Amino acid sequence: MISKSQLKLITSLSKKKYRDQHGFFIAEGPKVIAEFIAEGLEMQLHFTSEIVKNETSVYHQITPQELKKISNLTNPNTSLAVFKFPKQKANENKGICLVLDGIQDPGNLGTIIRLCDWFGVSQLVCSTDTVDCFNPKVVQATMGSLARLSIQYGDIEQKLSTTMLPIYGGVLEGSSVYSEKIEEDCYLVVGNEGNGISEKIIGLLTHKITIPQYGASQKTESLNVATAAAILLSEAMRPTGK
Amino acid sequence: MISKSQLKLITSLSKKKYRDQHGFFIAEGPKVIAEFIAEGLEMQLHFTSEIVKNETSVYHQITPQELKKISNLTNPNTSLAVFKFPKQKANENKGICLVLDGIQDPGNLGTIIRLCDWFGVSQLVCSTDTVDCFNPKVVQATMGSLARLSIQYGDIEQKLSTTMLPIYGGVLEGSSVYSEKIEEDCYLVVGNEGNGISEKIIGLLTHKITIPQYGASQKTESLNVATAAAILLSEAMRPTGK
């Protein structure tokens, strides 16, 4: 059974405004839910169409029809849970801090979060116009990675204008990423899918870096932002010297 | 005006079966259409909600409502065109030939095609269970890149079992991509989003390569296939020695 107030809460959580207000987000499917539990996130509600032996204030058995009603997925899985936002981890000023300037696509953000987790980049700073990391599509794509990273939203201009660390940015005309040494402790900025890094942030970069284009045609306008971030992070982390 | 037979044709082209039967695919939006024209593709039909001075057998003016009816986009642009498949380019056995083993997601395929174009990789070979490259979502994501590459679908097992070239494959347990030298002329295989490279193809690899995982957690199960392909291609193309 799902109560009216629970239904209202869950429906509201598809909007960022209400996620922020409650401090809750939704995860779907046993595997994704298990990963968030394993990361120590506090589960508020758990609805499943599988058999629940002991219903509690958290665990509720529902019908597949009820699940379909509350699910954000085209093909709902067997379960949906409401989690409390993870505790904000302290910013360390150590290692690479990846900065996202206006990333719009939830798929790109999800891919970038998994990428950070893979390369041990634990700090992600997003401009306020970057898509919300608790957007259901991002949550489903990143799974546990989302809970392992420190993700902050805020005024990136202010943040970058007060740091003493080098600030690298992926642009179309800069020095080759294959010859530029990326410092161990630094900021690395990637920009919006259509427009790249915004002008006010370009002015703050201490190093403009580019992924060289090969081949005869050189007509591709740009790389997808997640693949560009992959190559930049790989170059920053690769163990051998340039 | 859009005729009944034109409407029937366009609707049918959202399915691979009919795209193959007619040898046609759909592109939407002035920018995407212009890129395919610039690549020399033969345009069969062009519908636009903008003013058309001289209607021909190719150019037709339609209303925004008619466009909405034939568009595959959530927010239809001003125009939709039907193109003939690009002519198959001859396979050169030179440079890197990227092999896709069961890529399911149109977004991933689109990103990989742009990536190939960026790095001058002109040959892409796809297993028959890889998503169709003329799928509307792929077309919109790749734009002109789609016409610049040679993309073949077929029995990759047969192809790889008869080549004398080295065959590299991205796997979870292999030698580090940062220490393995990737030969200039070779096959490079990446696998399905969930299951990686299939068993029968794994057996044909001459070199298993891995993108090392960094950081404390090492809990990320895998990288997104397009970001993995990005890092592998970047490593293969980077100019300096290892």
Kindly report the CATH number assigned to the domain that includes residue B203. 3.40.1280.10
> Do strands A79-84 and A24-28 pair parallel, antiparallel, or not at all (unpaired)?
antiparallel
How many distinct structural domains can be found in chain A?
2
Q: Are residues B46 and B151 in the same domain?
A: no
Spell out the residues 6+ positions from residue B196 whose beta carbon is closer than 8 angstroms to its own: B170, B171, B172, B222
The closest alpha carbon to B147, from B241, B74, B84, B70, belongs to B84
Within a domain: A242: no
| pLDDT at position B75 | 85
Q: Is residue A89 part of a domain?
A: no
Residues A141 and A191 in one domain: yes
Close Cβ partners of A153 (under 8 Å, ≥ 6 residues apart): A125, A126, A127, A128, A130, A132
Query: Chain B partners of A220 at a C-beta cutoff of 8 Å?
Result: 114, 117-118, 144-145
Asked which of A55, A84, A113 is the last residue of a domain, the reply is A84
Residue-wise pLDDT tens digits, A41-85: 999 999 999 887 777 888 899 999 999 999 988 888 899 999 999
Domain that holds residue A54: 4-84
Model pTM score:
0.90
Say yes or no to pLDDT of A89 above 80: no
> Judged by CB atoms within 8 Å, which residues 71-130 of B form the interface with A?
107, 111, 114-115, 117-122
Q: Is residue B89 in some structural domain?
A: no
pLDDT at residue A36, rounded to an integer = 94
Q: Which residues contact B149 (CB under 8 A, 6 or more apart)?
A: B113, B116, B117, B121, B122, B123, B124
- Give dist(CA B177, CA B211) in Å, integer: 6
**For residue B152, is it within any domain?**
yes
Residue B215: pLDDT over 90: no
Domain harbouring B38, CATH code: 3.30.1330.30
- What pLDDT, on the 0 to 100 scale, is given for residue B18? 97
- Do A223 and B114 make contact, defined as CB atoms within 8 angstroms? yes
The answer as to whether B72 is a domain residue is yes
Tokens at residue A37, please? 């539990």
* pLDDT for res B223: 87
B108 and B202 co-located in one domain: yes
pLDDT for B217 beyond 70: no
Same domain, B142 and B79: no
Q: What is the pLDDT of residues A106-144, one digit of tens each?
A: 999 999 999 999 999 999 999 999 999 999 999 998 888
CB B7 within 8 A of CB B70: yes
In terms of CA atoms, which chain A residue is nearest residue B237?
A214
- Is the pLDDT confidence value at B90 over 80? no
Domain membership flag for residue B114: yes
Nearest to A45 by CA among A13, A88, A77: A13
Contact pairs from chain A to chain B, CB under 8 Å: 111
Query: Which stretch of A48-52, A202-206, B38-42, B232-236 has the lowest confidence by average pLDDT?
Result: A48-52
Task: Say yes or no for a CB contact (<8 Å) between B115 and A227.
Answer: yes
Say yes or no: ipTM exceeds 0.85: yes
